[in-house]
Chain A
Amino acid sequence: MNNHLDMLSLIPARSKKYMRTSIILLAGAFMVLGAVLLYVERGYAEQERNFTDNTNLLLVTVTHRESSDTPFESLTSADRDSIAQLVASSPDAQTGSTRAIVSNRYGLGGGVTLSSGDPYFIYGIDPEIGDLIGVPEMQAGHAYVISTNDAPSAGAHTLSIPVVSVEPDGYTSRDLAQYPIVLDASADPARVEYLIGNDASNVMFVSSETFKGLASSMFATDWNTVRTRWEAGELPMTPLVGSIYVYVGDIDDVRAIAATLEGDGYGTSYGLRAFDDVEASLRTSTILAGVTVLVTLGAAAALFVLSWRSYLALSSRDIGILKHWGISDGLIVSSYSKRLTRTCVIATVCGMAVVVVLAPFFLARSLAFTWGAVNIVTLAVVGVVLYQLIVQVAIKPSVGGEVLSLLRENREFQ
């Protein structure tokens, strides 16, 4: 059988030039397909990252309370406990790593300056939500500013804080308190700007505990007194508890938690609201990617099938002669399939080579290996499917023709 196939392979091999063209066409198509797969995957990965890696999209900001009597009511420190209880009892915030974190966002302005002389507005947040400013591990006694070229030098600094006394006609300040801090210019500008919705250049973040120390220095009293006076409305110009952040662990839970809070009378805002539907968007991306790949694949398959049908039409006389000589259809199909196998293997390997070379450029390192391997397997499967397609729709029908028709067809074709 093998000897017969070796002998028979002389026949398809006569059309070397034609087959070379066919191999080049298919190899080109596979290389394009490999590149398209990577391109589409990169686009998908980017979009997914935009949603899932953007920590700000995991944030629900509680800005005020609402009731039928008072449409806007400032938050108090008691609201934090209330919100924490609401979130804790929400089934959407209870499972494993998706636990939501609740934090006050304290604010303190009023002429606080760094030793360099620059004025800063101070925000205090719980270290657990440091991710939101790009600082996963906030430390007590440290102050975080955005990392820019003209940021103050990192290290030990002193904050000058006006010591405020509240008079019936307003605040007065005669003294400055010095508060030592360690400056760290590692906050992410984009995240900070998104978080505060404003220019981040004169903003400083500290941990909640450090903030309480700063506020105590400003009002020359302990934190509990500051908080009590603020909640009693005695510090009207101070946005002490500006907002309460709920940092949700899973993007799928953001809407549900926001709805829970709104149902209890809290006004919320969250970035995810800007996107109509994350799932719909990702689904659309998936469909587009699928269509792109399928169109490329369909074009490659159609081109290859047509190319082989033309080749077999040109070869019909050869096939007719072989059949006239009494060689079985099965053996003739095998001899052409052998040539087809070679073509498919060469083309598939070319496509795989493109994937191997380009994957590190198109995909992040964490994805390049896995998705590259998936693409290689995909190309191998496509190669096998194309092989079977050609055997079934081109080779077998061509070889199955009548001897006289095959001998005449060739003349008509030519």
Chain B
Amino acid sequence: MIGAQLKLADVTVQFGERRVLDAVAYTFESDAVYVVRGRSGSGKTTLLTVLAGYTTPDRGSVVAQGRVGYLMQEELLFSELTVLDNLRIRSIGTEQSDQKILDRNILGALATVGIADLIDAPVAKLSGGERRRVELAGVLLDQPDFLLLDEPTANLDRTSAAAVYSALWAVEADWTVILVTHEPDIPFVPAVATFLELADGQLEERAG
């Protein structure tokens, strides 16, 4: 979507006495890559849930012009079902209703993240990295303008993490990526990426 924008307007989120986001004002532009860093517990996940609309700010507002896709930190798949069944169910929420087109889209999304050959495999049989890429393929099916990623390689070994990032950067050209991570080194990160630091409730740009 041309001109898509995700804007935080003086957003404050408070849990009890603790102010996690303190009058944060920031605009995420389209077709860009943002890497948000911060210590554990600094409010990175809260920032994404606010952007995704799952957490309502105590003060301020979020203006979303465009579709938002959100890959949560925890794995959200039905492990008893196959990859195809998971993605078919996931695609019920999309605007596409033609099953043939949907299946073609699913295969395309899986190919994009490099696991098209696993389409009929039960999710329970997949490795952690493969499961993460299945989720990523699911998010891609929604064709979001903004892709929110919360620690996408948490609990993965280096090889699996590299595979996930490789798949991610292969698709980022089409969407705005907002990646939240506590990792200091991210493989293959694009040179154009904007690095942000979340600390003491404030979101500020930092040099990569």
A: interface residue count bin: 20 to 34
| Known contacts A318-B78, A326-B93; is-contact A7 B88 (Cβ 8 Å) | yes
Q: Which of A74-82, A274-282, A400-408 contacts B (4 or more CB under 8 A)?
A: A400-408
A403 and B78 contacting across the interface, CB-CB below 8 Å: no
Residue B19, interface by CB 8 Å: no
| Other-chain contact of A3, B74, B78, B90, B99 (Cβ < 8 Å) | B99
The complex places the Cα of A329 from the Cα of B138 at a distance, in Å, of 20
The complex places the Cα of A7 from the Cα of B84 at a distance, in Å, of 11
A325 and B85 contacting across the interface, CB-CB below 8 Å: no
Number of interface residues of B (CB under 8 A): 21
The complex places the Cα of A326 from the Cα of B53 at a distance, in Å, of 12
Residues of A within 8 A of B92 (CB): 4, 7-8, 325, 327, 331
Q: For chain B, what secondary structure do more than half of its interface residues adopt (helix, strand, loop), or is it mixed?
A: loop
Residues of A within 8 A of B76 (CB): 320-321, 324-325, 407
Residue A232, interface by CB 8 Å: no
A324 and B72 contacting across the interface, CB-CB below 8 Å: yes
A402 and B54 contacting across the interface, CB-CB below 8 Å: yes
- Return the chain A residue nearest B88 by Cβ: A7
The complex places the Cα of A54 from the Cα of B70 at a distance, in Å, of 79
Residue A322, interface by CB 8 Å: yes
Residue A11, interface by CB 8 Å: yes
| Known contacts A4-B92, A322-B89, A326-B142; is-contact A10 B81 (Cβ 8 Å) | yes
Residue A49, interface by CB 8 Å: no
The complex places the Cα of A365 from the Cα of B90 at a distance, in Å, of 57
The complex places the Cα of A10 from the Cα of B86 at a distance, in Å, of 10
A403 and B80 contacting across the interface, CB-CB below 8 Å: no
| Known contacts A324-B70, A326-B93; is-contact A14 B85 (Cβ 8 Å) | no
B93 and A325 contacting across the interface, CB-CB below 8 Å: yes
Within 8 A of B (CB), among A8-33: 8, 10-11, 14
The smallest beta-carbon distance between A336 and chain B, in angstroms, is: 14
The complex places the Cα of A11 from the Cα of B76 at a distance, in Å, of 13
The complex places the Cα of A326 from the Cα of B89 at a distance, in Å, of 10
B interface residues with partner A (beta carbon < 8 Å): 49, 54-55, 70, 72, 74, 76-78, 80-81, 85, 88-90, 92-94, 99, 138, 142
Residue contacts A-B, CB under 8 angstroms, 23 given: A7-B88, A7-B92, A10-B78, A10-B81, A10-B85, A14-B80, A321-B76, A321-B77, A322-B89, A324-B70, A324-B72, A325-B76, A325-B90, A325-B92, A325-B93, A326-B93, A326-B94, A327-B92, A327-B93, A331-B92, A403-B54, A404-B54, A407-B76
- Which 6 A-B residue pairings sit nearest by Cβ, starting from the closest? A326-B93, A325-B90, A321-B76, A327-B93, A4-B92, A325-B93
